Amino acid sequence: MKRELLAAKRCGTHMKRIVLFPTNIVLGFLIAIMIILLPNPGFSDVAGYFSHVRDVVELTKRGNPPSIQAKVQDKVESMDAIRTGSSGKAAINFVDESSLVISPGSHVIIDKFLFDPNKSYRQVKLSFFQGLFHTMIKYSIKTEEPDFIINTYTAVLGQRGTAWYTISEPTFTDVFCEHGKVSMESNQLKEQVAVNDYQATRVWKGKKPLQPLPITPEDLSFLKSLLDSGLPPRYEPGSNPVELLKNLKSQISDKIGDWVPPPTPGLPTSFRPTPGPGSLPPVPPPPAPAPGPSHGPSSHPR
């Protein structure tokens, strides 16, 4: 509410009208302006940096085309989109010391990345649209709700301190937990499951998450090898993530012989010149949520 003080002062034939506002309203207005205009010293626009780039890795800054060819040490920011070609691979080290490895033929968007080490605050949202990813969160921040969230076509993943693999496709999402804990729920049906060490689960489009199934260290080693080669253009997803791994191993062994766990060298950090950006076809946006029919084992095109 504003107060008015009318002071009539005759100055020739003119009258002056003086309007006074309460002091607390004026101060509140000035503080609001300062909050809007002054930058928050605790947050940075930079989410992280590329630590590894192989072949075609397209980076679209803040969703604004055209895309550019990513290079090692290029910065990654909120709203950036990253897509790898059929032989492309990328790794990102985030400012909170978490990391993301993106396999060939994959697409991810950094929706939001806010991190303030001084206030122990983190709010991260990523979208995995297609492909295979390895995510590692070095440490957790004690919050009531997960502060590191990943959206896919079919699921929402909430994590704290953990490491896991994600396979994201338009009709299903698989999670393979290496260590720690991942919470997973359908983006249409709010029923959640917890995936712990050496467990995997799946969310079909419009379905509840499957109960977690056990996986082995060899399964995780196989997924690590797929980070280099990417998922095949077509494969049988099976009815659950364990069947998917069995089908992928069989499909690969038919081409190159029995699969043997590879050695585990560190990630290279050198950049190899590659073809320019713009060679990848556009990826359609995720479909609007709608209950889907039940799915069973069938050939899955990519």
Q: Which of 16-30, 47-61, 105-119, 246-260 has the highest mean pLDDT?
A: 47-61
Average pLDDT over residues 50-54: 98
At 292, the amino acid letter reads G
Q: What letters, b where the CB count within 10 A reaches 16 and e where it falls short, cover 230-251?
A: bbbeebbbbebbbebbebbeee
- Whether the predicted pLDDT of 93 surpasses 80: yes
Domains and CATH numbers, the chain: 46-266 (2.60.120.1440)
Strands 182-186 and 155-159: antiparallel
Of 102, 109, 123, residue with least CA distance to 166: 102
Q: For residue range 201-234, list pLDDT tens digits in order.
A: 999 999 999 999 999 999 999 999 999 999 999 9
Banded pLDDT at 159 (limits 50, 70, 90): confident
pLDDT of residue 116: 87
* Tokens representing residue 223 in the block: 């997924």
Most confidently modeled of 32-46, 230-244, 245-259?
Answer: 230-244
pLDDT band at residue 145 using 50, 70 and 90 as cut-offs? confident
Least confident of 4-8, 123-127, 178-182, 213-217: 4-8
Q: What is the mean pLDDT of the chain?
A: 79
- Split at pLDDT 50, 70, 90, the class of 152 is very high
Query: Are 38 and 61 spatial neighbours (Cβ–Cβ below 8 Å)?
Result: no
Amino acid at 185: E
pLDDT at 176 over 60: yes
> What pLDDT is recorded for position 216?
97
Residue 183 pLDDT: 93
Average pLDDT score over residue span 158-164: 84
Query: Does the structure show a pLDDT above 70 at 287?
Result: no
Q: What percent of the chain clears pLDDT 70, i.e. is strictly above it?
A: 67
Written as six digits, the tokens of 114 are 């806010």
Q: Which range has the top average pLDDT, 116-120, 219-223, 273-277?
A: 219-223
* Residues 251, 214: Cα–Cα separation, whole Å: 22
Question: In angstroms, what is the C-alpha Rg of the chain?
Answer: 25
Instruction: Measure CA of the first residue to CA of the last residue in the chain; give whole Å.
Output: 62
Report, as an integer, the average pLDDT of 133-153.
Answer: 85
Query: How many C-beta neighbours within 10 Å does residue 208 have?
Result: 15
Cβ atoms within 10 Å, residue 120: 11
At residue 275, the pLDDT reads 36
For residue 296, name the pLDDT band (cuts at 50, 70, 90).
Answer: very low
Q: Of the ranges 67-76, 169-178, 286-295, which one carries the lowest mean pLDDT score?
A: 286-295
d(CA 268, CA 270) in angstroms, rounded, equals 6
Give me the numbers of helices (H) and strands (E) for the chain, helices first please.
3, 21
Rounded to an integer, the average pLDDT of 80-106 is 97
What is the model's pLDDT at position 15? 44
Model pTM?
0.73
Q: How far is 48 from 74, CA to CA, in rounded Å? A: 9
Lowest mean pLDDT segment, chosen from 9-13, 67-71, 162-166, 184-188:
9-13
pLDDT at 27: 54
